Amino acid sequence: MADKKLTDEEREELAKKLDKSLDDFIESKAKNKRNTDFDEEAFDKLLEEHPAFISSIPKEGKLPPLVEALQALKYDEEENEPEELAQNYKEDGNYNFKLKQYRFAITAYTEGLQRKCKNKDLNSQLHGNRAACHFQLGNYRMALNDCEECLKLNENNLKVHIRGIECCFRLKLHDDAMKLCTNGLKVFPTDERILDLENKIRKQKKIDERDKRKLMLNANRKKIENERIWAAILSRNLRMAEFIHPDKLDQVPNLEYLNSAHPHSSVTKVSLDENGKNLVWPVIFLYPEYGQMDFIEKFHENTTFQDHLETIFGPDIPAPPWDESENYKNGVLEIYFEDVPTNSLVSILNSKTLLHAISDFRYIITGGTPSFIILSKNSNFKSNFLARYK
């Protein structure tokens, strides 16, 4: 679409060029040998060669001068009334819609509406057609807006009634969809498509309301569970890095959002056992000698470290692939945690429970996941590693 306006002299020059071009075109074709049989397809193709009869504008490349001039004349506000311009833009939009060039079509329909012509039917069509484009692009909110504007101007457009209802359905605006169904049935009381949509929306509304109730119940259960877990943490005087400030102790945090360095901890959080009295933690064992770790999904607070080390490094358990020297065996393993403020390591007896370790006033739980360092007495790495903290 061209935006250039023509001067009076340019319009006069354009008319002369078109007359001469058409005369030359007809004269050149008249000189060709005529066929005895009229070939309509060949005749249409012949007309397409001239700018005055061209049916489509090339999408790429520079337009021929006469075509460009005709385009400018088509959209000249001094040569056309607002209604004529709106009609021209509508035709361009329809052409692009057929080619599934929906964004180009939207631009054309918008230009037509901006002409603000007084023809309500034409404006209604522009809104309805633009709604169809937005619908094809998945812009259901914008499509719905155009459907509403279209129906204000002409409520007898069945397609737009249906499209507006479908937009509301996809946007999960069930109450609005039911209102549109009611309005549509006032105009088209027996239309099966509107009746089917009304029934479909009514059923979906019940399903969504049921699902919403389930979500609310689940959220309430999680909230109560979260409060009970936090109460258990406070009653044990456990310190958590994210909530260690005294001002935060009276606030119940959402423990679901605690994240540690281990990816599995994002789905496994501290919880209560089946009796609802004891805490069960996700725990990480770190092996700094090899840069490895083990993630224990459920470590009951009353279970000892020895129990889990036996499971991982027991006599009948093959050595992990990273322990080629087989130094990591149950019975020669030592457990530590970091006392960050003093930059020191605190030793824990293997026979102690998890609760005993994390209840130590020096222990701070980070990311909702207690972690411990495991070293082997049989490895030279141990002495070098401990020296870092002296």
Cα–Cα distance measured from residue 291 to residue 306, given in angstroms and rounded to the nearest whole number: 22
pLDDT at 241: 84
Return the domain boundaries, the chain.
Answer: 72-205, 255-387
pLDDT at 219: 87
Task: Provide the CATH number for the domain formed by 72-205 in this structure.
Answer: 1.25.40.10
Helix and strand numbers (H, E) in the chain are 13, 6
Domains 72-205 and 255-387 share a fold: no
Task: Provide the CATH number for the domain formed by 255-387 in this structure.
Answer: 3.10.20.90
Cα–Cα distance measured from residue 337 to residue 372, given in angstroms and rounded to the nearest whole number: 5
pLDDT at 355: 97
pLDDT at 66: 47
pLDDT at 10: 65
CA dihedral over 99, 118, 116, 186, signed as positive or negative: negative
pLDDT at 22: 57
Closest CA to 6 of 71, 91, 67: 71
327 Cβ neighbours under 8 A, 6+ residues apart:
376, 378, 379
pTM for the whole thing?
0.54
Contact (CB, 8 A) for 226 and 254: yes
CA 146 to chain CA centroid, Å, is 24
Tens place of pLDDT for every residue, the chain, 390 residues?
444 555 656 666 665 665 666 566 556 655 554 554 555 565 455 545 544 455 555 555 554 554 555 555 556 666 668 898 999 899 999 999 999 999 999 999 999 999 999 999 999 999 999 999 999 999 999 999 999 999 999 999 999 999 999 999 999 999 999 999 999 999 999 999 999 999 999 999 999 999 999 999 998 998 898 889 989 999 999 998 877 654 555 566 667 666 655 666 566 889 999 999 999 999 999 999 999 999 999 999 999 999 999 999 988 899 999 999 899 998 899 999 999 889 899 999 999 999 999 999 999 998 889 999 999 999 999 999 999 886
Please state whether beta strands 333-339 and 292-300 pair in parallel, antiparallel, or not at all (unpaired). Answer: unpaired
